[in-house]
């Protein structure tokens, strides 16, 4: 899913996907990720511009990112169209990928996982530690899994 927009939240996929992200987070955790705005489009804009990271990937054999809000794009140093073509495993260094895969598997089994921390790497090689990550299964409108998402609001650059 690639489209070049300065405002990705205006695209119908992102509006619909935002609803899936919010509904799924509430379903698994019992908490709200973000208060809904007046319209689904306004909610999509609010999530895209939120001061915390939200990313998600699909269900491919090597899952591809299908969403990253502006905070995530800034942290990983990507634009929307490049980020949403990247296998999500590349967000972590090779040494960190096994732990990441275990986290994804646990969330798939349990619906979600909390309090993860790990090292990630940006496009330009900046390493950063993410903490208190919540990862959850994204559900479609019929409550079938359609990917996984993660959110966190704490990170620290490792120089």
For 123-137, the pLDDT digits (tens) are 999 999 999 999 999
Cα of first residue to Cα of last residue in the chain, in angstroms, is 34
For 55-105, the pLDDT digits (tens) are 999 999 999 999 999 999 999 999 999 999 999 999 988 888 888 888 888
Beta carbons of 116 and 108 less than 8 angstroms apart: no
User: Domain 8-158 has what CATH class?
Assistant: alpha beta
The domain ranges of the chain are 8-158
What are the DSSP calls for 1-31, one per residue? -----S-GGGSHHHHHHHHHHHHHHHHHHSS
How far apart (Å, rounded) are the C-alpha atoms in residues 103 and 84? 21
Predicted model pTM: 0.93
């Amino acid at each position: 899913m690639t489209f070049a927009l300065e405002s990705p939240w205006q695209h119908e996929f992102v509006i619909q996907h935002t609803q899936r992200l919010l509904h799924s987070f509430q379903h698994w955790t019992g908490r709200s990720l973000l208060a809904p705005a007046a319209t689904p489009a306004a909610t999509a804009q609010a999530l895209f511009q939120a001061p915390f990271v939200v990313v998600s990937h699909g269900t491919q054999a090597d899952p591809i990112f299908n969403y990253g809000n502006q905070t995530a794009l800034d942290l990983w140093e990507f634009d929307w169209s490049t980020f949403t073509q990247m296998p999500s495993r590349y967000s972590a260094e090779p040494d960190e990928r096994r732990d990441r895969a275990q986290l994804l598997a646990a969330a798939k089994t349990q619906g979600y996982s909390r309090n993860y921390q790990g090292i990630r790497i940006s496009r330009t090689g900046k390493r950063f530690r993410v903490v208190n990550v919540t990862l959850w299964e994204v559900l479609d409108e019929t409550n079938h899994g359609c990917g996984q998402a993660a959110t966190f609001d704490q990170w620290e650059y490792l120089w």
